Amino acid sequence: MTDNDLPVIAHWFDGAPAGSAGGRTAPVYNPATGAVQAHVALADEADIAAALASAQRGFDVWSGFSIAKRQSVLFAFRELLNARKTELAAILTAEHGKVLSDAMGEIARGQEVVELATGFPHLIKGAYSENASTGVDVYSLKQPLGIVGVISPFNFPAMVPMWFFPIALAAGNAVILKPSEKDPSASLWLAQLWKEAGLPDGAYTVLQGDKVAVDGLLHSPEVQSISFVGSTPIAQYIYETAAKNGKRVQALGGAKNHMLVLPDADLDLVADSAVNAGFGAAGERCMAVSVVLAVEPVADELVAKVTERIAKLRIGNGAADVEPDMGPLISGQHRDKVSSYVDIAEADGARVVVDGRGYTVDGHEDGFFFGPTLLDAVPTSSRAYTEEIFGPVLSVVRVASYDEGLALINSGEFGNGTAIFTNDGGAARRFQNEVQVGMIGINVPIPVPVAYHSFGGWKKSLFGDAKAYGVHGFDFFTREKAVTSRWLDPATHGGINLGFPQN
Ligand code: NAD
C-alpha cells in the first residue's frame, strides 16, 4: 500500500464528514508500529469558514430546543457511549498508543462529565427574588454563549474534549472541536454518536488541523469562547490572543507534579503509587507524577522498592492480546526529546538507576518505545528537574525535611497536581493549606477531581480563572442576565426622579 492509498481523516461539518478544501494533510501514526496509518486533513481558511457556518446552523436549531429535549439527547448520548466504548478505546490505543485498559479508564473519566451534564437543568437555572423592592422582582437567566471553541492535546483525545463539550452542549451552545492532529479519529467517532443521539447537525462540529485552524478560531468574531488544553507556551499564546479578541478563555497548560514522601509513610504504598502515576500512559499525563521528593532517611529504601517494581513492568503494543503495562510514546520525535532529558540529567550529575534509553520491543522495532526510567539525586538546577519531560521518567530528589520539600514544590513554575504520602494527619492538613498547587492528593497519587468538582491547576498550569467541568464549567459556558421587573400600577407611578435607584 502506498501513502496515497491511506485514508484521510476528515472534518465534520453539518452532521457529516467533509474533506478539506486546500488538501493539506499530516500523517497519523500507529505509535506501537511506527507506521503511518492515515493522514488527517489540515484546515485552511475555507474549512474554517465552513466550520463556522456549520456551527452557526447547529446553534440556531439546538439553542431553540427545550430543556427537556436537550436532556433527552444527552441521555441518549450517554447510553450510546456506555454501550459502545470499547470501539472508542480501540481507536485511542491505535492512534495514541496507551494500553486498552487505560483507554477505557480515559473514557470512563470523560463519561463522568457526560453524566454530570445530563443534570444540567439544575445547574443552569437562574435565581428569583420576589419583591426585591416594593412591587419589583429581580431574577437571573443563564443563556448559552453561542459558538464555543475547544482545542485539545494528543494525550487524552477523548477525555479532554469530554471535559468541555457535554457541558457546553447541555447549556445550549454549538461546539467546534479542534482535536490534536496526532490522534484525530476519536473526534469523528464521537461526532457519529452525537448524530445517533439526536443532536442537530452542526451543533457538534469538528475542524481538523494545526496552528492555522487554531488561529482561525482565535480570530473569528463568531467564536465566543476558547477552552484549550495543551503545553504551557501554547496555552499562554491562546490565553493572550483569545483575550485580546474579546473572548472568554480557559487555557490549561503543562505540569511538573511532585509527590512528597514523609518518613512515616507506608513505603510499599508509595512505591506502587509512584510507579503507577509515573509510568501509566508512558508518563504522557498532565497529572503524572514526575518527581518524588523523598524526605530522608527513606530515599535508599524507596529507590530500591521502585527499582524492583520497574523490573516487572511489561512494555509493548497496547492492543496486544496479553495487555502490557505500558505502551509507546506518541512519536519518534517525542521519544528523542524524552531521551535527551535523561542525557541532560546524567550530565548534570543525576544517577541513572534504570535507563530506558534505546529500549526496543521485539517485533515492534520501529515503534516509539521508551523504557521506564528512574533517576536518583537529580539536581534541582537541572533542566531535567525544572522542565516537563512528559515521558516515563521518574526523578527522585532527596530532601532533609517537609519544609525543604514544600519550598521546592512552591518554587516551581507549574502548579497542576501534587501529592503527599504520610500517616500524619496534621502534616497532610498543613500541606493542603500551604502548597501552591490546584489539585492535591493525600495518599492519592493522581488526584484528578471527580466531575462535580472542577479540574484546574495554578500558576502556568492554567491561564484564566475558570477551571474545567463542575460548577466552573457551567459558569464558563453560560452568560448571565439579571432582570429587574416591575408591572406598573398607575396609582403608584413615581414620576421623574434622577437619583440612583434605591430600595
Ligand atoms: P500542544 O500544546 O503541542 O498542542 C495542543 C493543541 O494546540 C493541539 O490541538 C495542537 O494542534 C495545538 N497547537 C500546537 N501548536 C500550536 C501553535 N503554535 N499555535 C496554535 N495551536 C497550536 O500539546 P500536546 O503536545 O498535544 O499535549 C501535551 C501537553 O498538554 C503537555 O504539556 C501536557 O502537560 C498538557 N496537558 C495539560 C493538561 C491539563 O489539564 N493541564 C491536560 C492534558 C495535557
DSSP codes, 163-201: HHHHHHHHTT-EEEEE--TTS-HHHHHHHHHHHHHTPPT
For ligand 1, the distance from its centroid to the CA atom of residue 459, given in whole angstroms, is 17
Q: Residue 21 gets which letter from DSSP?
A: S
The CB-side HSE value for 290 (13 A sphere, CA atoms) comes to: 31
Question: Complex ipTM above 0.95?
Answer: yes
Question: With a 6 A CB cut-off, is 461 part of the ligand 1 pocket?
Answer: yes
Distance (Å, whole) CA 142 – CA 119: 15
Rounded Cα gap, residues 394 and 376, in angstroms: 9
Instruction: Decide which of 446 and 194 is more confident.
Output: 194
3-state secondary structure of 26: strand
Counting atoms of ligand 1 from 1, which one is nearest the CA of 330? Answer: 25
| 391 neighbors 370 (Cβ within 8 angstroms) | yes
Q: How far is CA 26 from the centre of its chain?
A: 22
Q: Is the pLDDT of residue 316 over 90?
A: yes
Q: How far apart are CA 133 and CA 342, in angstroms?
A: 68
Whether 211 lines ligand 1, by a CB cut-off of 6 Å, is yes
DSSP type of residue 4: G
Q: Is the pLDDT of residue 487 over 70?
A: yes
Query: Does position 495 have pLDDT exceeding 80, yes or no?
Result: no
pLDDT score recorded for residue 492: 66
For residues 416 and 462, give the distance between their C-alpha atoms in angstroms, rounded to a whole number. 8
293 lines ligand 1 (CB under 6 A): no
pLDDT over threshold 70, residue 304: yes
Q: With 60 as the cut, is the pLDDT of residue 164 above it?
A: yes
Indicate the Cα dihedral angle 384, 386, 389, 395, nearest 10°: 60
Per-residue pLDDT band for 496 (boundaries 50, 70, 90) equals confident
| Number of other CB atoms surrounding residue 219 within 10 Å | 14
Residue-wise pLDDT for 403-429, tens only, equals 999 999 999 999 999 999 999 999 999
418 CB near ligand 1 (under 6 Å) = no
Strand partners for 174: 147
Residue positions counted in the chain: 503
What pLDDT was estimated at residue 499?
87
State how far Cα 230 lies from the chain centre. 8
Look-up: residue for cell 462529565?
113
Question: pLDDT tier at 2 (50, 70, 90 boundaries)?
Answer: low
Q: How far is the CA of 253 from the centre of ligand 1 (A)?
A: 7
> C-alpha grid cell for residue 92?
485511542
Q: What is the pLDDT of residues 232-281, one digit of tens each?
A: 999 999 999 999 999 999 999 999 999 999 999 999 999 999 999 999 99
pLDDT band, residue 45 (cuts 50/70/90): very high
Residue in the block written with cell 534505546 = 358
Going by C-alpha positions, the residue among 328, 289, 323 that lies closest to residue 306 is: 289
C-alpha span between 355 and 345 (Å, rounded):
12
Higher pLDDT, 321 or 489: 321
CA of 30 to the centre of ligand 1 (A): 19
- Compute the average pLDDT of residues 227-233: 98
Chain-wide mean pLDDT for the chain? 97
Nearest to 147 by CA among 221, 45, 249: 221
Residue 271's pLDDT is 98
Which residue has its alpha carbon closest to ligand 1 atom 34? Answer: 254
Establish whether residue 396 lines the binding site of ligand 1, counting it when its CB lies within 6 angstroms of any ligand atom: no
φ, ψ for residue 167 (rounded to 5)? -75, -40
Q: Whole-angstrom Cα distance, residue 411 to residue 403?
A: 12
**Shortest CA distance to 144 belongs to which of 203, 77, 80?**
203
Instruction: State which ligand 1 atom lies nearest to the alpha carbon of 231.
Output: 32
**Contact (CB, 8 A) for 46 and 22:** yes
Handedness of CA 247, 252, 254, 255 (dihedral sign): positive
Sheet holding 136-144, edge to edge: 128-133, 136-144, 478-486
Q: Is 180 in the pocket of ligand 1 (CB under 6 A)?
A: yes
User: Closest by alpha carbon to 258, among 68, 441, 473, 94?
Assistant: 441
Does 390 sit in the ligand 1 pocket, CB within 6 Å?
Answer: yes
pLDDT band at 197 (very low <50, low <70, confident <90, very high): very high
- 286 Cα nearest atom in ligand 1: 34
Helical spans, DSSP H, in 183-324: 185-197, 211-219, 232-244, 267-279, 299-311
The catalytic position among 286, 293, 319, 406 is 286
* 123-129 contacts, C-beta under 8 A, 24 or more apart: 123/471, 123/474, 124/170, 124/171, 124/474, 124/478, 126/480
DSSP letter for 144, please.
E
* Cβ proximity of 450 and 473 under 8 Å: no
* pLDDT tens digits along 95-118: 999 999 999 999 999 999 999 999
Q: How far is the CA of 498 from the centre of ligand 1 (A)?
A: 53
Q: 1 pLDDT exceeds 60?
A: no
Given a cut of 90, is residue 5 above it in pLDDT?
no
Is ligand 1 within 6 A of the CB of residue 200?
no
Side-chain half-sphere CA neighbours of 499 within 13 A:
6
Dihedral sign from CA coordinates of 322, 327, 332, 338: negative
Contact 62, 200 (CB under 8 A): yes
Atom 19 of ligand 1, residue of closest alpha carbon: 211
Pick the residue whose CA is nearest to atom 36 on ligand 1: 230
Q: Which of 156, 162, 234, 338 to mutate to test the pocket of ligand 1 (most atoms within 8 A of CB)?
A: 234
Share of the chain above pLDDT 90, in %: 94
Residue 166: active-site member: no
Please tell me if the CB atom of residue 193 comes closer than 6 angstroms to any atom of ligand 1. Answer: no
181 close to ligand 1 (CB < 6 Angstrom): yes
**Is 272 strand, coil or helix?**
helix
pTM of the shown model: 0.97
Q: CB of 290 within 8 A of CB of 388?
A: yes
Find residue 249's DSSP bridge partners. Answer: 226
pLDDT, mean of residues 144-160: 98
152 lines ligand 1 (CB under 6 A): yes
Q: How far is the CA of 77 from the centre of ligand 1 (A)?
A: 27
Q: What ligand 1 atom has the least distance to the C-alpha of 255?
A: 34
**291: β partners:** 258, 395
Residues 6+ apart with CB under 8 A from 186: 88, 91, 92, 95, 157, 158, 161, 179
Q: DSSP string of 370-428? A: ---EEEES--TTSHHHHS---SSEEEEEEESSHHHHHHHHHHSSEESEEEEE-S-HHHH
The Cα–Cα gap between 473 and 117 comes to 10
Interval between CA 152 and ligand 1 midpoint (Å): 7
Q: Whose CA is nearest to atom 43 of ligand 1?
A: 286
For residue 286, the SS3 value is coil
Q: What is the reported pLDDT for 490?
A: 67
Fill in the DSSP letter of residue 500: P
